[in-house]
Amino acid sequence: MRTLTGITPSGTLHIGNYFGAMRPAIEAQQAGDCFYFIANYHSMTSVTDAAERRVNTRGIALDWLACGLDPKISVFWRQSDVPEVTELTWLLGSLTPMGLLERAHSYKDKAAKGISPNFGLFAYPVLMAADILLYDTHRVPVGKDQKQHLEMTRDIAIKFNEAYGETLVVPAAVIRDDVAVVPGLDGQKMSKSYGNTIEIFGDEKVLRKKIMGIVMDSRTPAEPKPDADKNLAIQLLKLVAPAEVAADLENRLRAGGLGYGDLKKALFEHYWNYFAAARVRRTELAANLDHVESVLRDGAARARAVASVVLQRARRASGLE
């Protein structure tokens, strides 16, 4: 049972990404056979600065390795190190109806915002299908926003199999409904597009200031707060503090007597400790970029071994060979 997912290198990761996507992926390693890649071809439709792409790609690699992606268990690589994926994209694209792509949210949303769409953006669901189908993937854990892309992947795989005989594994999406949406500093969903993020890795002073700056209501510390479970700091504490500590602070807030300043201070301390070991690992990894590069190259070799077999199967089935 192979699990595969792609991570777009688009900026700095926040704790919503961590609890929503990274932690489940890291936990899935216990069952083995995990394929995780940095989707740098996908970043080409939005980022056109070469240095920025390199920096983002390296940053994401460091983040994932620091947070517990274990390259001994998981195959971890940079998408462009297995260029076979672009060939499969062509084979699949030649069977993909225009109408299917015209209905894709990724393209429709950007076009609606007035962003002039390019071929890459339009073809993005085909590249994503190739990412998945090239590795005989069974399960693809993704956020809800990717549901449509997974349906397209299945449609495209079925079309290929109908045209050329059973060749490609038809994958299933694993949509993470179980993972609660992590709220941001303003109470909305934490997202880099809303500017309300708590980064996983960042400067201590800046992050302390962000957390101490969370706006709360004007009730005095002494007042009991029957809605303590709805408090933003309490919700975030439940993610980063031991359960009994979060429960104790929630009870004290409910009963009255705990001030918001002290609560936010506790949140900061627990958040900072939660990622302390990962922060140390990230600093070590950043000082040893040759090692990170060799992890990605080794991952690419392992990924390529699978990819070349599947691509050859598709080439033979379709009469290219």
Binding residues vs ligand TRP (CB under 6 A) = 5-6, 8, 39, 42, 128, 131-132, 140, 142, 146
Catalytic positions: 110, 189, 192
Residue 190 touches ligand ADP, criterion: CB under 6 A: yes
Structure tokens at 288: 């040893």
CB 37 within 8 A of CB 68: no
Nearer to ligand ADP by Cβ, of 85 and 239: the residue is 239
CB 142 within 8 A of CB 175: yes
Residue 20 touches ligand ADP, criterion: CB under 6 A: yes
Query: Left if phi > 0, otherwise alpha if psi is -120 to 50, otherwise beta: which for 118?
Result: beta
Number of residues that bind ligand ADP (CB under 6 A): 15
Shortest CB 5 distance to ligand ADP, Å: 8
Partner whose footprint covers residue 167, from ligand TRP, ligand ADP, none (CB < 5 to 8 Å by kind): none
Q: What are phi and psi of 172, to 5 degrees?
A: -115, 140
Partner whose footprint covers residue 148, from ligand ADP, ligand TRP, none (CB < 5 to 8 Å by kind): none
Site string for ligand ADP, 98-137 (x = CB under 6 A): ----------------------------------------
**Among the candidate windows 26-34, 93-101, 128-136, 182-190, which touches ligand ADP by CB under 6 A?**
182-190
Q: Give the list of residues 6+ apart from residue 313 with CB closer than 8 angstroms, or none.
A: 167
Q: Calculate the CA 151 to chain-centre distance.
A: 19
Nearer to ligand ADP by Cβ, of 4 and 307: the residue is 4
CB 40 within 8 A of CB 80: yes
Instruction: Please give the Cα distance from 106 to 222 (Å, whole number).
Output: 49
Q: What are phi and psi of 289, to 5 degrees?
A: -65, -25
Alpha helices in 113-146 (DSSP H): 119-133
Nearer to ligand ADP by Cβ, of 21 and 65: the residue is 21
Site string for ligand ADP, 192-211 (x = CB under 6 A): xx------------------
